[in-house]
Amino acid sequence: MADSSIEAIVNDLLPVFGVDALKDEQKSILHCLIDKTDCMAVLPTGFGKSLPYQMYSLVNRRLTGVKEIVVVCCPLVALMQDQVEKMSNIPEVKSAYAGSSTQSDMNIKDGLVDIIYASPETLVGDPEWRASIQELPVSVLVIDEFHTIATWGDNVECPGKETFRKWFNDIGELRSLFPKSTVLALSATCTLKIRKRVKKVIHLAADVNEIVISPNKANIRVLVAKIPNTVEMSMHWLIEGLSQLREKFSRTIIYCTSIKDVSDIYSYVTQELPFASNLLEMFHSETPRSRKQKILENLTNLSGEIKIVIATSALGMGLDVKNCHSVILFGPPVQVVDLLQAIGRVGRDGEPSIAIILYNSYHLRKLSSDVKEILRTTDCRRISLLQCFLKSEVISLIMEKESRKHTCCDLCRRKCECQNCSMLPLEEIFHSSGSSCAGQNDSDISDSGTEEYFSNNEHELENLELS
């Protein structure tokens, strides 16, 4: 059918889904589904990756008059619940996730649900569910958060490591269950290595239609520094800045790789500065739910009184922190995907922001080679980071378009000759205290003995609800 007919149907449905228009990337995904063409899309959190396949159910029905079912393979119950809740307000489209209730499960198996959400354990690992869904007229298979195939399934780079969720290795079997279905693979952050691995696992062609938006956040400057192994010696500059600025301290997130580090930093600051207990909070998996909710409400309020939140990666998934332009990573995450996500928690309003990555010899022990390369590079942190996600020609275009100079990273700032280099408040505090060791070529940063792992870090284990 002509593109004009599709466009007319889409325009008619936009108000139903509460949007004014589809973004170009969303249009491309929708057309892939309509044209029965496999697609892999890597688009930022909050971009609206789900909208094309959700809209497809109605678009296809109006185009062909035939009801077809979309199956979404999703890793987390929380994500499924969120999507089903959002779709509950859309007339003519029924959605549900496997395991939510007895009645809902019956509706799914009877073919009464248009968009079915289920985990790999259900779709591939449960013989009863597998047989039931195979009888349905499934036309689209969506692999949501497809990077988890590589991060939660077997890690081919570390043979012998225990698999976190084994059925993620077998998601490719869905193609044999529904050989005529179109596959749409979605992720918010994914490296080139993971994309290559996932293509193989779910049997996508090497030249599959890829829709990728650069993960580059040009407004966030990256600074890297080696610190002593003790909290007291490595974070004394924070005490100095907080004691001077108090309520005027810029809102800052401090990410740690363990609950112990969160607790140690919190205890150190509040003991040194008792008044800071009103400006400081902790957020991790053991934080009471009511306390978490209060912190989240505060962070999403422009006038919230909390100035510093010390957290594990439990704080973050899709959270839009208001008026926050500073993030400190007390120890980089093991994997570069998590590093990029942590950096991107700030500066979502496009204003100049700073990400300070601190590491000591203990942190280095478990870092992946990609993260180590970002720490040890002597050229540009941003290029080193983007090389994991984008092809070299794309990176070249980005760097030509944007000013590297002092707004890029600590290394580029050193080379800048504009005579007008400025610092953000947190960066000024860090430098004025004499804490910065940025740019040092640390001989400890090597790949030998590196333990690259996917299944045992806190990011993966902290908030998971398995179906």
pLDDT at 80: 85
pLDDT at 392: 87
Closest by CA to 239, choosing from 210, 280, 191, is 280
pLDDT digits (tens, 9 = 90+) for 188-225: 888 998 898 889 888 888 889 999 998 898 899 999 99
Residue 23 has which token pair? Answer: 């973004």
Element (H, E) at 141: strand 138-143
Answer yes or no: is pLDDT of 264 > 50.
yes
pLDDT digits (tens, 9 = 90+) for 219-245: 999 999 999 999 999 999 999 999 999
pLDDT at 451: 37
pLDDT at 19: 92
pLDDT at 438: 43
CA–chain centroid gap for 62, Å, is 34
pLDDT-derived band at 154 (thresholds 50, 70, 90) equals low
Check: CB of residue 185 under 8 Å from CB of residue 136: no
Residue 79 has which token pair? Answer: 């994500």
How do 308-311 and 95-97 pair as beta strands? unpaired
Sign of the four-CA dihedral 180, 182, 187, 191: positive
**116-130, 366-380, 434-448, 453-467: the lowest-pLDDT one:** 453-467
pLDDT digits (tens, 9 = 90+) for 77-93: 877 888 898 898 898 89
Check: CB of residue 286 under 8 Å from CB of residue 259: yes
What CA–CA distance (Å, rounded) separates 142 from 136?
A: 15
At 199, the amino acid letter reads K
Which residue ranges form the domains of the chain, and what is each CATH number?
3-212 (3.40.50.300), 220-442 (3.40.50.300)
Closest by CA to 221, choosing from 450, 430, 24, 372, is 430
What CA–CA distance (Å, rounded) separates 298 from 316?
A: 14
Alpha helices, DSSP H, located in 178-254 = 192-201, 231-234, 236-245
pLDDT at 436: 53
Closest by CA to 214, choosing from 43, 409, 404, is 43
pLDDT-derived band at 171 (thresholds 50, 70, 90) equals confident
More confident of the two residues 425 and 164: 425
pLDDT digits (tens, 9 = 90+) for 439-448: 444 555 665 4
Half-sphere exposure of 116 (CA within 13 A, CB side): 32
